[in-house]
Structures are given as C-alpha cells and as structure tokens.
C-alpha cells in the first residue's frame, strides 16, 4: 500500500472515531443489549424472603409497607412550647399555601388582641388581586420580551406558566401593602377559589391568546404605548372572568365581632386598607427572608429574576445562610410567640396520615435493599428536591435548649396530619426546609446588614425559582 493511501485510511478511521465520540458512541452505542439483559437477570435471583417482599410490594401501597413502625411508636405529639392558635384553615384544591400561611402568621395576633374565639382572613380577597396582578405581570413580560425568539428561554418560562396559583412570602407583603385585607365573611371562598384548575386553565389559555396578539401587533410596528393600550382591554376580560369565578372584591365593608366574653362590638365601616391598619397593624417589611441553599455561598444576598407577582414591585430577594443559623433564628422567634412562615419540600419522608415529618419514616432502603440517599446539595443540583410548600411553625419541643421537633400548622384542613398539625423532627428541618421568614429583631446586626449589599441575580431556571410555582 502506498504511503499516501495509508494516510488516507488513517484519516478516515480518525474521522469515524471522532464521529462516534461526538455522537456519544465512544465505547459502544450506549443502549441496552441482549448481554446487558442477561447480566441484569443473573444479578437478581430472589431468595424466599425477597420473593415474599416482592409479593407484598406488587399488591400494596409502598408507603404502608415501608412505614417505620418503631419510629411511629416512639413518636409523641407533645411540645414544651406552643403558640396559641385557633382552628385549621383549608386551601383545598388550590396552590395557595403561601397565602394561607402568610395570613396564618397574622391570625394569632388578631385573635389575641380582640379576644376572639376564632378568626380567619379572606384568602379569596387577596387571591383575587394576586391573580389580577399576575395576569398584568405576564402581559407586561410579553411586551418586554416581544422581540425575543419564541424558543427564548425566558419567554418559554413565561409562556409555560402564565397564571400560576403559587407564590411566596413577599407576594403576601406586596398584596397587603397595596390592597389591605378583609375578614373571611366579607369575601368567602367560592367553588373556584377552592378548586382552581379549570379557572386557571381557561385564563392561561386566554393569556396565551393575548400574548400572540401582542406579538403580532409588535411585528407590525406597534410601540409600547399601543401595546399597553391593548393590554388594558385584555385585562378587562381577565377581570370579568375572575369576578365570575371568585366574586367582586370589596372596596368598603361593615364588620363587627363578638369576643370571648360575648361582648359584641359596634358595627364599623372599613376599607381593606383601613382594616389592616386598625385591626392588624403589623409592619411586614420588617421581616427578612432567609434561605438555606447549600449550592450557593452563605452570608450573601441573592435575587431571582422573574419572581414578582406585581409588575412594578421587586423580584424575590433573600439572604443565604447555613442550617444552624436558620434554626437558631427560627427558635428565637417561636419561643417569643411569633409564628414563622417557612417553605419546605413537603413530599419528602412525610407521613400524611400521622402528621410526622422525619428522615426514615419510610424505610425504603430496607424494603428494596437499595440506597436512595442524597445530600441536600445533591438534591438541589439534580432536581430531586425543590421548595414547594409553605406552612407555619407554631411550636417547638426542646431538650436542653435544643430543638427536638417543631410544631407545624398546615392549611390542608383537619383530615390529614394530626388534626391538621404536623410534627417535624429537627433532622427533617436540616434536610428539607429551605426558607424561613424572620422578623429582623431576632437577627444579628451583621445579618440584617447584608440586606444593604448588592444582590447576586439568579436566573429563573435556578431551582429556587420553583418556590413561586
């Protein structure tokens, strides 16, 4: 063979190898072949005990089989410090946990100040305005991104979820600041505030239709002023659909109450804003958002893009810190009878029937003989865990000054958990609690000072973005 021919052959072989490597074929095609299947079959030859477990697993709920009975038997629902609260709220089939938890933080103060047997805010009232603001924020986002390619990552995030139920603590802050609050009797729940799927689906469809119209107008030369004029007409339709589903939010109402001594107050007229000032009177901007996200630097301020519910307000901002500090500040607040709003991954190692959150409450490792463990950092990086549910800490059980377990007020009614309450063991806090909201009076000055620094801005595809969905 001539030297030139050998060179050609070598070059062809190198090209083939490069092609296979580029296509992910280096070392084989990467698929499952017959040899692999035979090896799998040989690797698992069940013994009699494993066969019995297989029979049980194929015929039963895995959670019931894996429930750790020793842990369940050792559990008690006793807490040596408990904030006085009344009643359990119920968000039903909606994604309003953040709103229920936010208002549940404020309920004990109203009940105590007015000496009431019970009290509940109208979640539906603030939910209405949250939905209206989210529709406006979505359409403003479409106007802002009008020149982007349809496959643009930020535009895709916007279009994927134009009208979510989900939210965050500062949604509560901004909504109350703008719209005030009302008692539940003034604007009670409706079928579609408690079951939001169809309403959300219809309005999401309408908003996507509106997005298409605005982008077509922009393509034909419409400027921002013209697009916003069109947007106002679009919002009128959204308002109409919301009123038909949720009712008309009050601008003024009359209210009186009966206290524990059966004394009835005078009938007074309020606006939602005056009701908040006179009856609640809490400065919510004094609360600080603290995260434990081990994928990010501790002691630093962060802000996540595209997380606001009201267009002309700020995106979500938080201080990242370590778990020990998170628990230290939470403990200070609870022991001072100030409830703490928090967000966790509620689906992990949680016995819904018993109201117990504890690592190992389901012993799936023993059931399957497989290791499923990940660190908190790995869960975040590989999307095994995200912050997805807001609740309230209303108590703690301590031993020698350290928390053993935390008392949690949920918003799922009384049929789940321990009559609507949960016991969260301290180890579960370490693994699955991501965010707490603490009044700045419980924080060291050096932590509060971080709020004055310039935040690092995170993109909306960061795992912490999922907190608002």
Q: How, if at all, do strands 433-439 and 456-458 pair?
A: unpaired
Domain definitions of the chain by residue range = 81-468
Tell me the pLDDT of the chain (469 aa) as tens digits: 554 555 444 444 444 445 445 444 445 589 999 999 999 999 999 999 999 999 999 999 999 999 999 999 999 999 999 999 999 999 999 999 999 999 999 999 999 999 999 999 999 999 999 999 999 999 999 999 999 999 999 999 999 999 999 999 999 999 999 999 999 999 999 999 999 999 999 999 999 999 999 999 999 999 999 999 999 999 999 999 999 999 999 999 999 999 999 999 999 999 999 999 999 999 999 999 999 999 999 999 999 999 999 999 999 999 999 999 999 999 999 999 999 999 999 999 999 999 999 999 999 999 999 999 999 999 999 999 999 999 999 999 999 999 999 999 999 999 999 999 999 999 999 999 999 999 999 999 999 999 999 999 999 999 888 877 7
Residue 138: name the closest of 167, 169, 160 by CA. 160
Is 77 a residue of the active site?
A: no
Q: Which of 292, 389, 435, 439 is catalytic?
A: 389
Clarify whether 410 is annotated catalytic.
yes
Residue tagged active-site, from 292, 410, 435, 439: 410
Where does 23-93 show beta strands of DSSP type E? 81-82
Residue with tokens 């310039």: 454
The answer to whether 55 is a known catalytic residue is: no
Looking at 68, 97, 245, 439, which residue is catalytic?
97
Q: What is the CATH number of domain 81-468?
A: 3.90.70.10
Q: Provide the 10 A C-beta neighbour count for residue 453.
A: 11
Q: What are phi and psi of 119, to 5 degrees?
A: -160, 145
């Amino acid at each position: 063979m001539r030297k030139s021919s050998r060179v050609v052959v070598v070059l062809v072989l190198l090209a083939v190898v490069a092609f296979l490597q580029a296509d992910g074929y280096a070392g084989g095609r990467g698929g499952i072949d017959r040899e692999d299947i035979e090896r799998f079959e040989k690797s698992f030859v069940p013994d009699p005990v494993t066969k019995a477990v297989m029979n049980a697993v194929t015929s039963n709920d895995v959670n019931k089989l894996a429930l750790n009975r020793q842990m369940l038997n050792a559990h008690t629902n006793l807490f040596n410090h408990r904030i006085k609260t009344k009643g359990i709220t119920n968000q039903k089939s909606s994604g309003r946990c953040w709103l229920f938890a936010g208002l549940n933080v404020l309920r004990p103060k109203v009940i105590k100040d007015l000496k009431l047997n019970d009290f509940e805010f109208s979640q539906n009232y603030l939910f209405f305005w949250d939905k209206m603001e989210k529709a406006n924020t979505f359409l403003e986002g479409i106007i802002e991104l009008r020149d982007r390619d349809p496959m643009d990552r930020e535009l895709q995030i916007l279009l994927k979820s134009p009208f979510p139920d989900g939210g965050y603590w500062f949604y509560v802050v901004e909504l109350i600041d703008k719209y005030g609050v009302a008692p539940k009797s003034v604007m009670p729940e409706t079928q579609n505030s408690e079951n939001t799927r169809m309403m959300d689906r219809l309005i999401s469809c309408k908003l996507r239709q509106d997005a298409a119209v605005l982008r077509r107008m922009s393509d034909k030369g419409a400027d921002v002023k013209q697009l916003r004029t069109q947007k106002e007409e679009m919002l009128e339709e959204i308002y109409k659909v919301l009123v038909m589903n949720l009712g008309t939010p009050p601008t003024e109402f009359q209210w009186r109450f009966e206290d524990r001594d059966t004394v009835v107050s005078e009938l007074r007229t309020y606006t939602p804003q005056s009701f908040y000032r006179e009856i609640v009177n809490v400065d919510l901007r004094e609360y600080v958002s603290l995260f434990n996200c081990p994928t990010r630097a501790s002691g630093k301020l962060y802000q996540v893009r595209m997380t606001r519910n009201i267009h002309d307000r700020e995106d979500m901002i938080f201080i990242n810190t370590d778990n020990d500090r998170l628990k230290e500040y939470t403990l200070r607040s609870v022991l001072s009878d100030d409830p703490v709003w928090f967000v966790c991954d509620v689906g992990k190692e949680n016995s819904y029937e018993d109201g117990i959150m504890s690592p190992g409450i389901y012993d799936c490792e023993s059931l399957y003989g497989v290791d499923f463990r990940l660190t908190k950092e790995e869960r975040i990086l590989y999307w095994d865990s995200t912050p997805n549910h807001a609740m309230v800490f209303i108590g703690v059980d301590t031993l020698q000054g350290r928390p053993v377990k935390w008392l949690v007020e949920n918003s799922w009614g009384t049929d789940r958990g321990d009559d609507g309450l949960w016991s969260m063991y301290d180890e579960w806090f370490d693994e699955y609690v991501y965010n707490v909201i603490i009044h700045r009076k419980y924080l060291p000055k050096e932590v509060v000072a971080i709020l004055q620094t310039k935040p690092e801005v995170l993109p909306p595809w960061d795992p912490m973005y999922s907190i608002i969905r």
